[in-house]
Amino acid sequence: MLLRLLRALSLVLLAAAPAAAQLNESFTDGDFTANPAWTGDVTSFQVTTQQLQSNGPAVTGTQIQLATPGQAVTGTTWEFWANLRLATSSGNLADVWLISEQADLKAAGNRGYFVRLGGTPDEVALFRKDATGAAAYVINGADATLASTTNNVVRVRVTRSAAGLWNLERDLTGGNSYTSEGTATDNTYLRSQYLGVLLTYSSANNRAFSFDDFRVSDQTEPGLSSATPQAGTLLDVLFNEPVAANTPASAFRLGSGAVPTGAIRDATDPGLVHLTFANTFPLGTSTVEARNVVDLYGNVATGPLTASFVYNGTPIQPGPNQLLITEILADETPQLGLPASEFIEIHNPSTTSPLDLGGVRLTKPGNTALAVFGSGAILLPGEYAVVCASTRVTQFASYGKVFGLSNFPSLSNTGDQLLLRARDGRQIFEVNYADTWYRDNSKKDGGWTLEMIDTSNPCGGADNWLASTDPSGGTPGRANAVRAANPDRTAPALLRAVAASPTLLRLTFGEKLDSALTANPALYTLAGGPAVQRVTPVAYDFRAVELTLAAPLTANQPYTLTVARATDCVGNASGPLSSATLVLPAAAVPGDVVINEILFNPRTEGVDFVELLNRSGKYIDLQGWQLGRVRPDSIAENRTIISEPYVLAPGQLAVLTSRPDVVQAQYASSSEPAAFLPALTLPSYPDDAGIVTLLNAQNTRIDRFDYSQDLHLALLDTRDGVSLERLRPDGPSRGSNFHSAAGSVGYATPGRRNSQFLAESASSQQFTMEPEVFTPDDDGQQDFTTLGYRLDAAGYAASVTVYDALGRLTRRLVRNETLPTSGFIQWDGLTESRHKAAVGYYVLHIELYKPGGGAKKEYKKTVVVGARL
């Protein structure tokens, strides 16, 4: 009792004097929720006989915690008493946090230092916890120090000098005869907000932890760590620990003798003081001095304390690619480790020039409300900063510099185009991100940021962005986790040239261009055509330029366009010449462009695709065309194929899909990447049956195909990932003109000639068999046969039946079906029961009924079902 009275008296004396104790907690008042206030799992602790005791759920694997404010970091001594009445192990231990950034000691991204009591080595050790990875030893205490199974009493004392030298001591009797566990230097973290206890236990030990006599004392004067100019008259000075809120401006002066006109301690970092001077700093290196600066605990640094800084001049207004967007969190849920709020990160890649962001605008195309950086917003050389909505600034305060903007644009989860524009409207930076840039299906579902890989390659697009690899989900306010050298050494390639109108050409390149260097009309020549009068780079990504011609083009006549030089935004120039053929397109009529191949039942993790074929002799512009689906309720579901000019040449293929990368990966040896149009959202095509429609820009139906899984070869083990291919390009868009793609080519040929392609028969005979010997084994060679016909009049009806060599019925192909004047009937080698027909001779019996009820005519054609040896 006498000891308790003396302790209480000491608390009163300490409270009455300017002592150096930040915390002195012995729970003599029987309450841990006030004086000081401990927060956290308060229902899982109690004060028993003036000691803090655990009283959490009796469940194995439970973690409980309490934390209280604590800002001492250097020149500090931490002391506490503990008793662990259990056998310590990896599942029964106590972590006493001395320095913590967060009140939530369990948080995976928390940073700081803690003393571990127990664990597998049964030790007393000092650890550092970073935002990523497992905790690391600072001082590895001796093993088997806490060896009792029922009573591990220990008093711990930890000191950290102003230079960052740690000393860990303990007394296993609970007294003050300390034994050192070792020393080490670590200056990783110089800021603290909390200290506390975090307990891990099994069900039998929920009440086995007791603590007492927490004392934190700082008896060391503050040190000056650094000085950083924020503008010509603004200087930030950073101390190694929190300083008094009323630190006066008179405590500072420059080496030149200049005294600041004002000094304000930072609202969130009490070790940071903002100084304002009347005159601009001289260029080059200067020194600031500090005298009589007091820390939070009454320690006075009489000084002079000095720090040097370099001023590079007045901040400049950013020009093209001098201010970058380097990180994007568009989908904040599910929350991983970052604040549940959309943000972008900006970066100043310069090593010398600060940027004046005042008046810079963040926006999206079509947005009328602009998010504008305020006057005085500065981004230092090499600095990163978070940009978020003005109401979300406090959520990002711990990540460094934050700019909160009114009208911060909403970021679409699947993709968006973001623009940074100067105060005069000039474009500074553009990024048109998409969720495919994550290259990780699990991360694109939310909680992870997209990060730029190489900041020296700002125009790299999808090839220079990747999902963050930081365990917290991103790296706001600091260098990206995925950073690596990823330079652009490739000159811009001319992808296509199209005639948008008789006097306007649109050229599309493979990457962003230097808009100024590509705007010279002398760089462009149109062989046999009119001269180029004007060149206009197309905002916002500048991957395209528009050429205005002096006279109109002639429709459907090919021209060769030559580009002498094109320069991308990082200075790579094409050469010696790039050329492309272009044509003023002609109007399409139904049947000019047809559905040539369709995958409607993709593999696992696969996607649908539709392939178009221009089977006409025209050059046809697909701009504004739509790919559709007619649903059972007759409601059309249409999707625009491409919103910009895209001319399809005679015989050219175009592949439409939501994920060109996935289709190309799954059919790597049988696809043609150049034939893929930009990703679009396809209509939802069912796996069993559906209707595909193709409409031009005037909503005229150009083609329609009614597909069904029954059109697939019945011998297939699975139809998943197998496309239906058109057999004859000039044939009708009916099921009889489609067949499963061959297994020998991987079951699909997106962008390439169909594996089941059949040329139009040149025979003048009334009936022909092609081929006369076929092998229905799905190897892409003679997998089926066709009965071609040419009739002398329209309106004939026919029945076609297959018999084997013994005259037995094998398959009914057609029954009383009206035929056009020419066409073909397919036999896939299957019997009426959908089994493969035996090897041998077969006879196709053809019954032809003359128009107007004339006499029936009969024909026979022989075919052989073979097999490959």
How does DSSP assign 287-345, residue by residue?
A: EEEE-SEEBTTS-EE-S-EEEEEEE--SPBPP-TTSSEEEEEE----S--SS-SS-EEE
The three-state secondary structure class of 489 is coil
Strands of the sheet containing 840-849, edge to edge, are 773-774, 856-865, 840-849, 797-804, 809-818
Distance from C-alpha of 456 to C-alpha of 787, rounded to nearest angstrom: 63
- Segment 363-386 mean pLDDT: 92
Q: Collect all residues with Cβ–Cβ distance below 8 Å to 731 and sequence separation of at least 6.
A: 737, 823, 824
| Contact (CB, 8 A) for 217 and 156 | no
- Segment 805-830 mean pLDDT: 86
- Output DSSP code: residue 219: -
Give exposure, 711-724, as e/b (b: 16+ Cβ within 10 Å).
bbbbbeeebebbbb
Q: Domain limits of the chain? A: 17-218, 224-311, 324-467, 494-582, 585-758, 761-869
Q: What is the mean pLDDT of the chain?
A: 90
- Report the CATH architecture of 17-218: Sandwich (2.60)
Residue 535 backbone dihedrals phi, psi, to 5 degrees: -120, 125
Cα–Cα nearest to 810, from 832, 840, 783 = 832
- Report the CATH architecture of 224-311: Sandwich (2.60)
- Write down the CATH number for the domain with range 761-869: 2.60.40.1220
Q: Residue 777: CA atoms inside 13 Å, Cβ hemisphere, count? A: 13
* Strand partners of residue 166: 160, 184
CATH of 585-758, one of 2.60.40.1260, 3.10.129.10, 2.60.120.10, 2.40.110.10: 2.60.40.1260
Confidence class for position 848, pLDDT limits 50, 70, 90: confident
- Of all residues in the chain, the percent with pLDDT exceeding 90 is 68
Residue 279: pLDDT over 70: yes
- Segment 789-802 mean pLDDT: 83
- Of all residues in the chain, the percent with pLDDT exceeding 70 is 96
- Segment 709-737 mean pLDDT: 88
Cα–Cα nearest to 287, from 226, 365, 348, 218 = 226
- Write down the CATH number for the domain with range 494-582: 2.60.40.1220
Q: Do the domains spanning 224-311 and 494-582 agree at the CATH topology level? A: yes
Distance from C-alpha of 372 to C-alpha of 420, rounded to nearest angstrom: 10
Distance from C-alpha of 178 to C-alpha of 168, rounded to nearest angstrom: 9
Distance from C-alpha of 474 to C-alpha of 451, rounded to nearest angstrom: 8
Q: Collect all residues with Cβ–Cβ distance below 8 Å to 248 and sequence separation of at least 6.
A: 263
List, for residues 615-667, the tens digit of each pLDDT value: 999 999 999 999 999 988 778 899 999 988 888 999 999 999 999 999 999 99
- Segment 552-570 mean pLDDT: 91
The three-state secondary structure class of 123 is strand
Write down the pLDDT at residue 852.
Answer: 64
List, for residues 204-225, the tens digit of each pLDDT value: 999 999 999 999 998 888 999 8
Write down the pLDDT at residue 212.
Answer: 96
Residue 343: pLDDT over 60: yes
Write down the pLDDT at residue 798.
Answer: 87
Confidence class for position 764, pLDDT limits 50, 70, 90: low
Confidence class for position 539, pLDDT limits 50, 70, 90: confident
Q: What CATH superfamily is the domain 324-467?
A: Lamin Tail domain (2.60.40.1260)
Distance from C-alpha of 214 to C-alpha of 38, rounded to nearest angstrom: 12
Strands of the sheet containing 689-695, edge to edge, are 636-640, 626-630, 689-695, 701-708
Write down the pLDDT at residue 1.
Answer: 35
Q: What is the pTM of this model?
A: 0.47
The DSSP secondary structure of 497-512, one letter per residue, reads: EEEEETTEEEEEESS-
Residue 761: pLDDT over 80: no
- Segment 239-246 mean pLDDT: 90
Residue with tokens 């943000």: 343
Write down the pLDDT at residue 126.
Answer: 98
- Segment 517-528 mean pLDDT: 93
Write down the pLDDT at residue 864.
Answer: 92
Residue 244 backbone dihedrals phi, psi, to 5 degrees: -60, 145
| Contact (CB, 8 A) for 320 and 313 | no
Write down the pLDDT at residue 367.
Answer: 87
Which range in 107-111, 466-470, 758-762, 832-836 is most confidently predicted, on average pLDDT?
466-470
Cα–Cα nearest to 380, from 328, 318, 426, 424 = 318
Write down the pLDDT at residue 838.
Answer: 92
List, for residues 157-200, the tens digit of each pLDDT value: 999 998 899 999 999 999 999 999 999 999 999 888 899 999 99
Write down the pLDDT at residue 16.
Answer: 33
Distance from C-alpha of 843 to C-alpha of 737, rounded to nearest angstrom: 22
Cα–Cα nearest to 865, from 829, 830, 835, 825 = 829
Cα–Cα nearest to 681, from 725, 630, 653, 640 = 640
* Strand partners of residue 865: 774, 840
List, for residues 377-427, the tens digit of each pLDDT value: 999 889 999 999 999 999 999 999 999 999 999 999 999 999 999 999 999
- Segment 254-279 mean pLDDT: 93
Distance from C-alpha of 422 to C-alpha of 279, rounded to nearest angstrom: 27
Higher pLDDT, 109 or 764: 109
Confidence class for position 824, pLDDT limits 50, 70, 90: confident
Write down the pLDDT at residue 466.
Answer: 96
Write down the pLDDT at residue 13.
Answer: 33
